[in-house]
């Protein structure tokens, strides 16, 4: 059995798994503000990088990284007796799980920004965290430099959290803003985001909603205390958003946002969903633009609170990691040990997506012929779904086009009822493709 010397004089060695953008930012932040951290923590707490894990030794590293500290063997990182805290920034779920789980078994606190790891395998890791009385800190996993994790976990500990609603993916938010400002098509706005470094070369998880969904799962777990299976939540991305949708939203006094909605209902069921939504231009979330994030929290004591800031980037995310490093170091000097988050109940009930209720904007690709509106309206009426308006914009470049977009605005109804109606409408000869649905949110 490997044993490690106790920590003395509040000097803590850090094992850094991953030295990419954020990892390099962490090293720079510690070098830049190490003295400030010591002053703010009583003058004795020193954080030093003792080992750095990388996948590829041939890649260039920041000059501040001592090459003698670099390894490609994660066992060396975790087992190093001079390493007291593990920072996992390597990404993915397999290797990252091995690193984090082994660190916890060795009673080394973990700091991670890996939202996918915690969303998909958090139940296993939190069980280990409880068993070994060793915390996992993950402020950097949600909304970059915005301290939303610590706020929900600590500042709102005396509140019942009624809801968390937010914009928690900067890439999608930037794309939607550019489509709104300049009338760009989705593909063009995405290419621009990639050129500016706001989107990865493979932007799938950003635009299909799952990056934000992983963050929403973590926020819901914090607020309501039980592990959540990603397969049980409803996720839609922005790939099908067209300029017509954004223009129509403007006419109605809305903006289109990729919105995470987390809400507790009176019966205790928790609603979690992620989808493009119409948000009133008068709501504060409508003014969140570019790569910025914002989360609106409603608590029974605090009322409404808004958290706003950069949701990604080297310095904001590194700032969150360093804050967690300080907390992890304090946990090592705390006789009671654990200062991180643990689920406080084994399970809870998620509200089935079919039971969620909002108003809707639905766009149909239809064959332009007499009676189309009546055919669609008949099916909606048979399912007892009210219509508040219809619209078919004229294509000025080709006013005699055979295929057009037809928009229906629908009254509030359960999503399951809407889906049954849309499945029937899709079988109509006049409908050429699956309908595109946006929620109309009343926040």
Q: What is the mean pLDDT of residues 14-28?
A: 92
Query: What is the predicted pLDDT for the residue at 1?
Result: 40
Whole-model pTM? 0.90
pLDDT tens-digit profile of 369-388?
889 999 999 999 999 999 99
Buried/exposed 261-291: b ≥16 CB within 10 Å, e otherwise:
bbbbeeeeebbbbbbbbbbbeebebbebbeb
Give me the catalytic one of 50, 108, 115, 215.
Answer: 215
Can 115 be counted among the known catalytic residues?
no
Q: What is the mean pLDDT of residues 66-83?
A: 93
Which letter does DSSP use for residue 352 in this model? P
Q: What is the mean pLDDT of residues 28-35?
A: 91
Q: What is the mean pLDDT of residues 392-402?
A: 60
Beta bridge partners of 49: 14
Query: What is the predicted pLDDT for the residue at 56?
Result: 81
pLDDT tens-digit profile of 264-322?
999 999 999 999 999 999 999 999 999 999 999 999 999 999 999 988 888 999 999 99
pLDDT for residue 237 is more than 50: yes
Angle between the N-to-C axes of helices 186-195 and 170-182, in degrees from 0 to 180, rounded to the nearest 10: 120
pLDDT for residue 337 is more than 90: no
What's the CATH code, domain 353-440? 3.30.70.260
pLDDT for residue 63 is more than 50: yes
φ and ψ at 212, to 5 degrees? -65, -35
What's the CATH code, domain 148-309? 3.30.360.10
Contacts with 365 (C-beta within 8 Å, 6 or more apart), sequence order: 403, 404, 405, 406, 431, 432, 433
For the chain, the average pLDDT equals 91
Query: What is the predicted pLDDT for the residue at 40?
Result: 87
Domain positions in the chain are: 11-144+315-332, 148-309, 353-440
Q: Which architecture, in CATH terms, is 11-144+315-332? A: 3-Layer(aba) Sandwich (3.40)
Query: What is the predicted pLDDT for the residue at 55?
Result: 87
Rounded Cα–Cα distance for residues 218 and 402 (Å): 47
Using 50, 70 and 90 to split pLDDT, how confident is the model at 114?
A: very high
């Amino acid at each position: 059995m490997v044993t490690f010397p106790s920590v003395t004089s509040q000097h803590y060695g850090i094992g850094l798994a991953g030295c990419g953008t954020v990892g390099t930012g962490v090293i720079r932040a510690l070098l830049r503000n190490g003295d400030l951290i010591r002053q703010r923590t009583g003058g004795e707490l020193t954080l030093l990088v003792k080992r750095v894990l990388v996948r590829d030794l041939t890649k260039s590293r920041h000059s501040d990284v001592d090459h003698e500290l670099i390894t490609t063997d994660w066992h060396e990182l975790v087992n190093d007796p001079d390493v007291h805290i593990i920072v996992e920034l390597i990404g993915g779920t397999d290797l990252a799980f091995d690193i984090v789980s082994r660190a916890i078994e060795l009673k080394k606190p973990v700091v991670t920004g890996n939202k996918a790891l915690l969303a998909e395998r958090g139940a296993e890791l939190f069980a280990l965290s409880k068993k070994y009385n060793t915390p996992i800190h993950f402020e950097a996993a949600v909304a970059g430099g915005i301290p939303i994790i610590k706020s929900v976990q600590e500042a709102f500990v005396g509140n019942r959290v009624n809801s968390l609603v937010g914009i928690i993916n900067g890439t999608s938010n930037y794309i939607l803003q550019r489509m709104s400002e300049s009338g760009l098509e989705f593909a063009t706005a995405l290419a621009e985001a990639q050129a500016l470094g706001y989107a990865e070369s493979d932007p799938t998880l950003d635009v299909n909603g799952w990056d934000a969904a992983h963050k929403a799962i973590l926020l819901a777990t914090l607020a309501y205390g039980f592990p959540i299976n990603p397969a049980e939540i409803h996720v839609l991305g922005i790939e099908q958003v067209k300029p017509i949708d954004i223009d129509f939203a403007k006419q109605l006094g809305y903006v289109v946002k990729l919105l995470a909605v987390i809400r507790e209902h009176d019966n205790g069921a928790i609603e979690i969903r992620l989808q493009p939504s119409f948000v009133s231009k008068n709501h504060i979330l409508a003014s969140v633009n570019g790569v910025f994030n914002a989360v609106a929290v409603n608590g029974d004591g605090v009322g409404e609170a808004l958290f706003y800031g950069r949701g990604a980037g080297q310095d904001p995310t590194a700032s969150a990691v360093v804050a967690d490093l300080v907390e992890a170091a304090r946990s090592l000097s705390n006789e009671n040990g654990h200062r991180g988050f643990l689920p406080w109940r084994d399970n809870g009930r998620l509200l089935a997506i079919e039971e969620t209720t909002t108003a809707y904007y639905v766009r149909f690709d239809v064959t332009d012929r007499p009676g189309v509106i009546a055919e669609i309206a008949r099916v909606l009426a048979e399912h007892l779904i009210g219509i508040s308006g219809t619209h078919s914009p004229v294509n000025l470049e080709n006013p005699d086009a055979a295929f057009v977009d037809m928009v229906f605005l629908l009254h509030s109804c359960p999503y399951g009822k809407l889906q049954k109606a849309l499945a029937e409408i899709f079988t109509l000869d006049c409908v050429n493709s699956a309908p595109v649905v946006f929620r109309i949110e009343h926040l």
